[in-house]
Chain A
Amino acid sequence: MEFLGLSLALFGAALAAALSGIGSAIGIGIAGGSAAGVMTEDPNKFGSCLILQALPGTQGIYGLLITFFVLNKLGLLGGAGAVALTWNQGLQIFASCMPIAIVGWISAIYQGKTSAASIMMISKKPEAMGKAIILPAMVETYAVLALLTSILMLMGVQVG
């Protein structure tokens, strides 16, 4: 049971990157479908479509960020050697990863749907680009809050 703490922490880190990455991939996929549809009609919209398609991609980056944060905290980067963790500490780190893992995953999907709708909007009204960017960003708020929660929780966990 010596490594249970470390394993739990790594499990959390893996979920943070994996779930939010899955969410972003789905979200970008949904938005990409709409973008391709719009671009068959008007290839000149590539630039604005790409920006809108990229918006649900940030959750994956937030997840990755938390994963690196955890790996860094555990001393697994840079060859310093892993710190010893009790299972309790491991569970704390696992819990800290959950906000971004879960919220990142689901919010990216909904952000993708909003982005897809925004892409449809600029296909009809290219001048509404500002509004089209803001609508998906409203969804992202909750991923940002989850990221913040994960960061603050991780900072609070004492290891080593």
Chain B
Amino acid sequence: MGVAKLKKAELYYHKSVHEEIAAALQETGVCQIIGDAEGGPASVEALRAESEAAVADVRYLMRTLTPHFNDPISSLDRTLGERPIVSMSDLSKLARETDLSSICTKVRGLEHAIGEGKLELSQARTNQALLESFRFLPYPLSAITEGTRTLTGVAGVVKADQLKTLQAALSEFSKDSELVLEPHDEKAQDIHLVLFLTRQRASEILEACVRKGLSVLDVPAEFKGTVEEERAKLATSIAALEDREASLLKDMENEAETWMPSVQKLSDYWNSLTERYTALGKSGETDRTLLTRFWVPAKDAETVQKKIEAISPNVAFFLSDPGADEEPPALLQNGKYVRPFNILTELYSPPKYRGIDPTPLLAPFFFLFFGMCLGDAGYAIVMLAAIWWLFRKYRRVPLGIRDFIVLFAFSAVSTFVYGIISGSFFGNFIDSFLPFLVPVKNALMLVDPMTNPMQVLGISLLLGVIHLMFGLLIAAYDNFRNGQAIDAIGANISWFLLIVGLCLMGVAMGGMVPPHFQCIVQAMAIIGAVIIFWYAGREKSGIFSKIISGFLALYGSTSYLGDILSYSRLLALGFGSAVIGMIINLLGGMAAAIPYVGWVVAVVVIVGGHLFSILINILGAFVHPLRLQYVEFFGKFYTGGGEPFTPLTLSEEFVSVKP
């Protein structure tokens, strides 16, 4: 339970076996190497450079080939553990047989050719559009691209409203210019034209025209024949380019199909190796030996030691407890019922090595709160069925994901229970469609948020008080444990007395308890307040500042009021999912009244609606109880701030490595 005890291991070994040792440490997956990678042994440096180069090649191939690859294993399947199982020796054999750099060269060539083809094709399409605009021209295009001895042609375009001014400008040069216009109607916006000019005044006239709004279009020099001839030629060459592009893409797909399965495996292999050599690079060295230091969980230390000593007799393995000045990483170790909740602590921040692991403390509350927020037996059944199906279909779900799913399975159980006792089954499905079950439902109901929400509000706030007070007691324990008894009493116990006293006074005012009890709780509240007053002012000098800080501290009780009221969300969210369910059933019932197709519409509305409601309410029922843990509960005693335990492991993104 809690943060796992770690041992610090020092491992001395001969350089000749450094590969085997590093591989063994990596395969155990429980060793976090200590040290920084700067200035590691030169022999390791070379190995690391080699594997990093391979990783770069693999990354390039993955990036380029993935869009062309139709992966037979979907990424969801992969995440849920459907990966080929291979051994490291298979992988290293594959790595030796696969010449990554020659594949890269080939793929780069293809990529380059495809890129160039795309460029040519887009050029050709631009030309095609240009020719399309000049179909009105009766002369061969050589009149523009070459001209004659005395004449030269210019292709251009002008805005319709500037055509008049352009024509007026040209009329001054009527002897030296001839304008051929695209046939157009009033709606035309751009009018294409070809201007024939005498060579001696061409530049002068052209300049005048450009000032009047003419945009000159560049006609590529290879166009010599008539527009129709050139269009036909261009169409043929575009078809050829498209064919070539298609065949290049096909080649690329073939390459992807041939190499991607290996590249994926090699991605894991080379990434593992890079990790391994980076870790090895953190070692210290003498001429012949290396020294690797690492953290290892105390319970695994012996296994690791045996494994290492089996490799070579020339090793020395020393274990020691972490020194008082060292801050080891934190590995959460909890029993199988609490372990799924580890992720909630890890999402916040892992505890310090010598701190408290809040996971077992928050687990029952999260379990309960999730149930109250979703609070529907029908939704719980859907969740459990989905999870059951998932575990049936996927037999090799990786541990972290498995825990996360199990967390939802637990939450579904509490949702089911709360759904039963609050009488919610797909909202008010029973009342709406299964009236014969109403007596059963009513018999099992303990609370009724729909007609008596104040009751559930009271329960929610009471749970809030319990949660917060529990947090304070943990803080007090933590302070006592660290020898800070004064802080424990002044900052934790005092508030506990005040809040619990005040709450019980509220209960006592209801007259449900005998009067001497009232005295006790009043005394509790007063003692609590006095301690808070004293604690806040104890380090201040002067009676005035003591009194002011005392009152300021007592004013802090408003934050407890806010904290407690925050738990009203348990009612609101549970109520929300029940009412959304009710609305869906109501709409379904209304749809059923449509003649002939009504029942189809009703089924669609009810099934689709409840699925939507489940998804949106699970999100709410996850986020809000989590917030109650992080903000209200952790606020009392937990700050996290530890380093997560990150052991050296094999990369298993695409394959599962067989030991």
Contact = CB atoms under 8 A, between A and B. Distances in A.
B569 A69 contact: no
A134 B627 contact: yes
A134 B586 contact: no
B573 A51 contact: no
Contacts of B348: 130-131
Contact of A68 (B454, B565, B571, B579): B579
Contacts of A61: 576, 580, 616
Interface stretch (B232-240, B250-258, B296-304, B618-626): B618-626
A149 to B, nearest CB: 9
B450 to A, nearest CB: 9
A140 B576 CA distance: 14
Contacts of A151: 453, 572, 575
A151 B620 CA distance: 18
A54 B573 CA distance: 16
A78 interface: yes
- By size class, the interface of chain B is 20 to 34
A65 B583 contact: yes
Given A78-B589, A144-B572, A65 B579 contact: yes
What does DSSP make chain A's interface, helix, strand, loop or mixed? helix
A62 interface: yes
Given A133-B623, A134-B630, A141-B566, A68 B586 contact: yes
Interface string A100-130: 0000000000000000000000000000011
Contacts, number: 78
B624 A144 contact: yes
A159 interface: no
Contacts of A55: 619, 623
A138 B566 CA distance: 11
B583 A68 contact: yes
A144 B631 contact: no
A58 B571 contact: no
A51 B615 CA distance: 11
Contacts of A39: none
A148 B626 contact: no
Given A54-B619, A57-B616, A78-B589, A147 B572 contact: yes
Interface string A49-68: 00100110110011011001
Nearest to B450: A155
Among B565, B579, B590, B626, max chain A CB count under 10 A is at B579
A54 B583 contact: no
Given A57-B616, A134-B626, A137-B624, A65 B347 contact: no
B651 interface: no
A148 B346 CA distance: 31
Interface in A65-103: 65, 68-69, 72, 77-78
A131 B626 CA distance: 10
A62 B576 contact: yes
Contacts of B626: 130, 133-134, 137
A157 interface: no
B479 interface: no
Contact of B569 (A54, A65, A144): A144
B627 A141 contact: yes
Interface in B551-572: 565-566, 568-569, 571-572
A154 B597 CA distance: 36
A69 B575 CA distance: 11
Contacts of B623: 55, 133-134, 137, 140
Chain A: interface size category: 20 to 34
A61 B457 CA distance: 21
Given A62-B576, A151-B453, A151-B575, A131 B347 contact: yes
Nearest to A150: B572
A148 B347 contact: no
B499 to A, nearest CB: 21
A146 to B, nearest CB: 9
B590 A138 contact: no
A138 B572 CA distance: 15
A138 B627 contact: yes
A138 B631 contact: yes
B453 A152 contact: yes
A16 B450 CA distance: 20
Nearest to A54: B619
B627 A137 contact: yes
Contacts of A72: 586
Interface in B613-659: 616, 619-620, 623-624, 626-627, 630-631
A137 B583 CA distance: 25
B616 A155 contact: no
A149 B631 CA distance: 22
Contacts of A54: 616, 619
Contacts of B590: 77-78
B475 to A, nearest CB: 21
A148 B568 contact: yes
Contacts of B586: 68, 72, 77-78
Contacts of A77: 586, 590
Contacts of B572: 144-145, 147-148, 151
Nearest to A146: B572
Given A78-B590, A133-B623, A155-B453, A69 B347 contact: no
Contacts of A141: 566, 569, 627
A54 B616 CA distance: 9
Contacts of B582: 68
Given A78-B589, A144-B568, A144-B624, 17 more contacts: A51-B619, A54-B616, A65-B576, A65-B583, A68-B579, A68-B586, A69-B579, A72-B586, A77-B586, A130-B347, A131-B347, A134-B623, A140-B624, A141-B569, A144-B573, A145-B569, A148-B575
26 contacts: A51-B619, A54-B619, A57-B616, A62-B576, A65-B579, A68-B579, A69-B579, A77-B590, A130-B346, A131-B348, A133-B626, A134-B623, A137-B626, A140-B624, A141-B627, A144-B568, A144-B569, A145-B568, A145-B569, A147-B572, A148-B571, A148-B572, A148-B575, A151-B453, A152-B453, A152-B454
Interface of B: 344, 346-348, 453-454, 457, 565-566, 568-569, 571-573, 575-576, 579-580, 582-583, 586, 589-590, 616, 619-620, 623-624, 626-627, 630-631
Q: Which 4 A-B pairs have the closest CB atoms?
A: A130-B347, A148-B572, A144-B569, A137-B623
